[in-house]
A and B are shown apart, each in its own frame.
Chain A
Amino acid sequence: GAGVSQSPSNKVTEKGKDVELRCDPISGHTALYWYRQSLGQGLEFLIYFQGNSAPDKSGLPSDRFSAERTGGSVSTLTIQRTQQEDSAVYLCASNKRGKGGETQYFGPGTRLLVL
């Protein structure tokens, strides 16, 4: 079956521009996660959705980052006024219930480069 998909695969942007990253979770998965993978920081948790609600936004690195999810399915992560330190691979994952011990299924990631 189809796994988690993300678009675009790669994104190059200029400092100061806004970018939108998209995640399509596995059908039927109510929980959706965003992570950032960068050289210096490893894999960092950004935000989590249960349905369309994001109970915990404390992982977002700054107020330039926001995310939404509609229809309990697709999610977009938006970065406003991008900075060079935002360059990283942004990973999305999903699972059925979002409970501890449950496997998360990862997408291929979006590689963002801010020039």
Chain B
Amino acid sequence: AQRVTQPEKLLSVFKGAPVELKCNYSYSGSPELFWYVQYSRQRLQLLLRHISRESIKGFTADLNKGETSFHLKKPFAQEEDSAMYYCALSAPRGGGADGLTFGKGTHLIIQP
């Protein structure tokens, strides 16, 4: 069975400092990995996905298959980055379903 681990429940950094939110996964096949974000009083939304190899709002994430990691990084944090961040893995389940397996989330707080 697949599993996603986010070791930090809470991460607090100062504005302008670098940010790294850790994510490790276990899955026997080739995973599809995502970062979803939930800002205060907003719905859960996609931040980025590894297959797109894109940078969104200054965030990047590189899939490291050797370390089974998909850490989220941003060189200079901004106050509007404060939110709950979830790492998620998409893998086929019985019947071909692709429901997401989520980590427990990291609450990122950017201090002014």
Interface residues of A (CB under 8 A from B): 3, 31, 33, 35, 42-45, 47-48, 50, 55-56, 58-59, 91, 93, 98-109
A-B contact count (CB 8 A): 72
At the interface, yes or no: B86 with Cβ under 8 Å from chain A? yes
Main SS at interface, chain B? mixed
Q: Contact residue range for chain B?
A: 20 to 34
Besides the contacts A56-B97, A104-B46, what 5 more A-B pairs have beta carbons closer than 8 Å?
A44-B102, A45-B99, A59-B93, A100-B91, A101-B51
CB pair B97–A98 under 8 Å, yes or no, is yes
Q: Which B residues from 38 to 55 make CB contacts under 8 A with A?
A: 43-46, 49, 51
Chain B residues closer than 8 Å to A102, beta-carbon distance: 90, 98
Contact A56/B32 with A42-B104, A104-B100, A106-B44 known, Cβ cut-off 8 Å: no
Closest A residue to B91 using CB positions: A100
CB pair A56–B90 under 8 Å, yes or no, is no
CB pair B94–A58 under 8 Å, yes or no, is yes
At the interface, yes or no: B92 with Cβ under 8 Å from chain A? yes
